[in-house]
Structure 1
Amino acid sequence: MSGTFIHATAVVVGTTGLLFIGPSGSGKTILALAAVEGARRAGLFSAFVGDDQVLIASEGGVIIARQPPVIAGLAEIRGSAIVPVFHVPAAVMDYAVRPVALEGVERIAPEDERAELAPGISLPLIRLPHGDGVDPTLRLGLLLAAQAHKMH
């Protein structure tokens, strides 16, 4: 497998690949779990690609995330346990999602913000506020719909 290992959690929700990025302890895994479970409850396909570390590569104009075999099908719930999750070995990633705490965050993110993942590899960035009791999947759904609307 060629590519670059990065500290991230990758999931697929419906047909959209989401790469949760940010420092350790920022909420990547729990927000990714919420997105996958929320999609599943809504009747959409959803699966993990990899938790904590993923291999990313640019192939044919798209960004592919792959799971390292040693942690395939596992997700860590910080402070509690490592749990089995439904997973796929690889998927196209469409957006990077950065969890952000609401305290001290800008009210509106910069227009057309991108996340640099590795040299020459970037994705459109969605900042996902969390930690105030609002269902993060509601915010994520609204933000993804706004991104799709901007594309058309």
Structure 2
Amino acid sequence: MTTARANVHGTAIVLGTRGFLLTGPSGSGKSRLALACITAARQAGHFAALVADDRVDLALEHGRIVARCPPSIHGLIEIRGAGIGTIETVPAAVMDWAILPVAAPFDPRLPPEDETFPLPLGRVLPIVRVPVEEGAQVLNILQALIAEKIGF
């Protein structure tokens, strides 16, 4: 049996027991948001780690979307304007949600209901939009929006 595979532009992280694929155009704040989520979760005593930053290998395995890091960028995260940093990673994670970083002005003010992110694997992930404005408490935002599904 052949496994469907694709390489996508994005960042994949694990928070607690859930995997999140951060998506959006270059410069939209994916890496910054991922680092903020990981840092906040760890400070709160929860497990959090990077899977991959900038490029993510996705595979459809046993009906689940699994993210892995291309070997050439393992353990690396871009800190825009500062350089490339290193961070603890996990080798793979099942992706449960897509995070779309959004910046003010928010248009539309509220996201579409049941918004999904289509993957090249023929599947979709539900989207949660998260503001990337300065001072946004990203973990609190995620917990307020999808508390029952965040994994802690």
Of all paired residues, the percent bearing the same amino acid is 48
2:83 aligns with 81
- Once the two structures are superposed, the pairs formed by residues 28-47 of structure 1 within 5 Å of their partners are 28-47=30-49
The letter of the residue matching 1:37 is: T
Per-residue CA distance 1:62-104 (angstroms, 9 max, x = gap):
1100000110001010111111100011100000000011204
CA distance in 2, matches of 1:134, 1:51: 21
Query: Corresponding residue for 1:57?
Result: 59
After the TM superposition, which parts of structure 1 deviate over 4 Å for at least 4 consecutive aligned residues?
Answer: none
Name the residue aligned to 1:134.
136
How far did residue 131 of structure 1 move?
1.1
TM-score normalised by L of structure 2: 0.91
Are 2:57 and 1:91 equivalent residues in the alignment?
Answer: no
- 5+ residue gaps, structure 1, are none
Q: Distance in 2 between matches of 1:132 and 1:79?
A: 16
- Over aligned residues, Cα RMSD in angstroms? 1.7
8 Å CA contact 1:96–1:126 kept in 2: the answer is yes
- Which amino acid in the other structure matches residue 50 of structure 2? F
> Retained in 2: the 8 A contact 1:57–1:64?
yes
Please give the per-residue CA displacement for 1:16-56, whole angstroms capped at 9, x wherever unaligned: 10100000000000000011111101111111000000011
Where do 5+ consecutive residues of structure 2 fail to align? Answer: none
Equivalent residue pairs, number: 148
Structure 1 residue 119 displacement after superposition: 4.3
Tell me if the contact between 1:4 and 1:56 (Cα under 8 Å) persists in the aligned partners.
yes
Aligned to 2:22, what secondary structure does the other structure show? strand
Q: Counterparts of 1:132 and 1:51 in 2: how far apart (Å)?
A: 21
CA distance in 1, matches of 2:127, 2:106: 19
Q: Which residue identity is paired with 1:71?
A: I
Larger relative contact order (CA 8 Å, sep ≥ 6): 2
Which range is displaced more, 40-49 or 101-110?
Answer: 101-110
**1:125 equivalent in structure 2:** 127
Q: Distance in 1 between matches of 2:90 and 2:130?
A: 24
Contact 2:4/2:121 (CA < 8 Å) preserved in 1?
Answer: no
Contact 1:102 1:132 in 2 (8 A): no
CA–CA separation in structure 1 for the residues paired with 2:134 and 2:17: 28
